[in-house]
Amino acid sequence: MMRKDLGFRLGTGLFGAVLLAIVCAIGYELVRQSMASIQKFGLAFWRTDVWDPVAGQFGALPFIWGTLYSSIVALAISTPIALGIAVFISELCPAWLRQPLVFLTELLAAIPSIVYGLWGIFVLVPAVRALEAATPQSLRQLPLFSGPPLGVGMLSAAVILAVMVIPFSSSVSREVLKSVPAAQREAAYALGATRFEAIRAALFYARTGIVGAVMLGFGRALGETMAVTMVIGNNPKVSLSLFAPQYTMAAVIANEFTEAADELYLAALVEIGLVLFVITLLVNSLSRLLIWSMARTAKQTMTAEPTPAAAAA
């Protein structure tokens, strides 16, 4: 029996080791393929905003800026909506409506990225263009709203990313709220709290897991390619304006990888993939750690609570 248990542990451990080896192999290959760019540009590659394949000058700053800027703006839009959906489904939704809403929310995550991109071109971009054209001239003087009303640009990319991130963040937030011990809500009601105050107490208890859910959405937004490529404008310029066409790391790899005619050009694109890989890995790892921390805390709390029989005794 002990030999079978040992074999089972070794077998399952082997699968985990294979997964770790795959991640390490991807990182190694990205470093190896981008070595020519790393050796020539060094750290200047991340600080330079010139992207000129003809002259052999490559700088990733516009793509890093575009990726982080679009993802952060998307989180600012999606987080309140995703949290509201999670709270409604887990705390306020009638039982007959809960499963249809869960199904529709998860259905958004199953829609292919290219479909989101087509919706963005035909529906979102004209709507954003109309919004930009209607922006008062006084606001257009600000750097955040400067530029021509093209429709394609940072605002369109951020909105479409927000729509794509909402099902991920809301689903994880909903599961985190479900893990909050019922004693937390019951204690709040026992102290005379209203329903809103009891929900707020549950949210406070689940704050670590909710932050983890938001960071999972952030990692999802960082790596999105096709939908963003179709609506962001693909202009390698660093700009604070939401109306300006910009570029992301995933988009430049998708657009220019097949056009890389020399070794340095290809290595520069692979190095952009390397930094995207590292950032995404760090964000998702941190979010998972936060969610596990939340689950462990809830489990410890439930274990420490006395049963009704023990309390009566």
What is the mean pLDDT, run by run of 10 residues, along the chain of 313 residues?
A: 70 84 91 91 86 87 92 93 92 88 87 92 94 88 88 93 92 87 84 87 85 84 89 91 92 88 89 88 76 67 49 38
Q: What is the pLDDT of residue 191?
A: 85
Query: Do residues 152 and 124 lie in contact, with contact meaning Cβ atoms separated by under 8 Å?
Result: no
**And the tokens for 272?**
């952009």
Q: What is the pLDDT of residue 242?
A: 92
Q: What is the pLDDT of residue 157?
A: 94
Write out the residue range of the structural domain in which residue 41 sits.
15-301
Whether 258 is in a domain gets the answer: yes
Whether 313 is in a domain gets the answer: no
Whether 284 is in a domain gets the answer: yes
Q: What is the pLDDT of residue 158?
A: 94
**And the tokens for 228?**
């963003």
Q: What is the pLDDT of residue 312?
A: 36
CATH number at residue 255: 1.10.3720.10
Structural domains counted in the chain: 1
> In 10 A of CB 119, how many CB atoms?
17
Please list the residues that pair with 52 across neighbouring strands. Answer: 57
Q: What is the pLDDT of residue 193?
A: 85
Whether 212 is in a domain gets the answer: yes
Q: What is the pLDDT of residue 15?
A: 83
Whether 259 is in a domain gets the answer: yes
Q: What is the pLDDT of residue 310?
A: 39
DSSP assignment of 57-92: EE--HHHHHHHHHHHHHHHHHHHHHHHHHHHIIIII
Say how far apart CA 176 and CA 207 lie, in whole Å: 9
DSSP assignment of 15-53: HHHHHHHHHHHHHHHHHHHTHHHHHHHTTHHHH---EET
pTM of the model: 0.85
Q: What is the pLDDT of residue 212?
A: 81
Q: What is the pLDDT of residue 179?
A: 84
